[in-house]
Amino acid sequence: MRFSYTLGGLLSANAVLAAPMPAPVAMPMPMPTPPGIPSASSAKTQLAALTVAAQVDDGAYERDLFPTWDTIEGTCNTREYVLKRDGTSVVVGSDCYPTSGTWTSPYDGGKWTLPSDVDIDHMVPLKNAWISGANAWTTAKREQFANDVTRPQLWAVTDNVNQSKGDKSPDAWKPPLSSFYCTYASSWVAVKSYWKLTISSAEKTALTSMLATC
């Protein structure tokens, strides 16, 4: 059997052989997804049902009124539990403290390999909870709130971003990544709804605006 090749065919074949392989595409690291984040429609419904009230700081707030970092699972306290839950390829020692892993902060997209660079943020800050109803709770209930891993209340985020947020509500502070506004507002509303905390008028306006980005 005879085969015939044309010059054009040879050139075309050589071009295919010589073509560089496409460069691998770096896949973004997955963002952490704590449990209980509602859909946008559910968050809007929950927001509409929240009580709007003026939030007055009575000056009595102290962080110790919200005991934190309870033992959650095995030897893991709340901070270690969230670091393990929200990180990628996290390895922990017998005391549950991470010895290696990678964390992607959903607030700003920062990527970290040292747990010391990561804070565990309370979505609804403890002081904000205090001025929106938690001042009337028992210490035991405040402890449950501060260690709530069942709802989207605890997030592993870049430490200085968490410090920038402080005790601020969404009308005074928003995450650097606007693409996270929808999830942030939905999570904030879910926590306030479950714990029956009030919101200020300015807070509701900011949350409504953020949920409009969903």
Range of the domain at 191: 7-211
Q: Which is nearest to 69 in space by CA: 148, 125, 14?
A: 148
Burial bucket for residue 198 (CB in 10 Å: 0-12, 13-18, 19+): middle
In terms of phi and psi (left: phi > 0; alpha: psi -120 to 50; beta: otherwise), the region of 59 is left
Sign for the pseudo-dihedral over CA of 186, 171, 128, 193: negative
What local confidence, expressed as pLDDT, does residue 56 receive?
87
Q: Evaluate whether residue 189 is within a structural domain.
A: yes
**Domain assignment present for 94:** yes
For residues 40 and 211, the answer to whether their CB atoms sit within 8 Å is yes
Per-residue confidence (pLDDT) for residue 10, from 0 to 100:
39
Question: Residues in the chain, how many?
Answer: 214
Q: Is residue 179 part of a domain?
A: yes
Domain assignment present for residue 2? The answer is no
Determine, yes or no, domain membership for 1: no
Assigned domain for 23 exists = yes
Indicate the pTM of the whole model: 0.85
Q: How many domains does the chain have?
A: 1
Burial class (CB in 10 A: 0-12, 13-18, 19+), 200: middle
86, part of any domain: yes
Residue 155 lies in a domain: yes
Q: Please list the pLDDT of the chain residue by residue as tens digits (214 residues).
A: 443 434 344 334 444 334 443 333 333 445 667 999 999 999 999 999 999 999 989 999 999 999 999 999 999 999 999 999 999 999 999 999 999 999 999 999 999 999 999 999 999 999 999 999 999 999 999 999 999 999 999 999 999 999 999 999 999 999 999 999 999 999 999 999 999 999 999 999 999 999 999 9
